[in-house]
Amino acid sequence: MHKRSHVAILLACFVLTGVSFVSFLPVAGKRALHTEGRLHAGLHFVVFSVVGFVVFRAARSRAARIAAFAGAVLFGLAIEVGEHLVYRGDMEWKDVLVDTIGVVVGTLLAMVSAPRQSV
């Protein structure tokens, strides 16, 4: 495995852990980080674009990239279901949609910026 692969995997683990941690902060902490209010949807988009980008870059094969993409989308859904259960609020389907769009954009950015592999 190349050093670049190790870095991508570590970055993916860091990003996924960070998103999980921030998602389940107490409500006051979430407000301080603007996870509510006018920046809410934009932050979801940016964060899940990063998620899509790093999981694509961490995967080495086509099958792993497909699984990473599906996993990133399911991760967004799982976060929203978890928040719904923990905070007893409404299920935020708009967030699931924005998360999914972010994963798609991040994946596309990773695809077009990926270094070419020699044959």
Phi, psi dihedral angles at 107 (to 5 degrees): -65, -45
Check whether 96 has a pLDDT greater than 80: yes
pLDDT band for position 35 (50/70/90)? low
Q: How far apart are CA 40 and CA 33, in angstroms?
A: 10
pLDDT at 4: 67
pLDDT at 82: 93
pLDDT at 84: 92
pLDDT, average across residues 44-57: 93
Nearest to 49 by CA among 11, 115, 104, 12: 104
Specify which of 5-9, 56-60, 74-78, 83-87 reaches the highest per-range mean pLDDT: 74-78
Check if the beta carbon of residue 107 is closer than 8 Å to that of residue 50.
no
CB neighbour list of residue 76: distance below 8 Å, 6 or more residues apart: 48, 51, 95, 96, 99, 100, 102, 103
pLDDT band for position 29 (50/70/90)? confident
Share of the chain above pLDDT 70, in %: 90
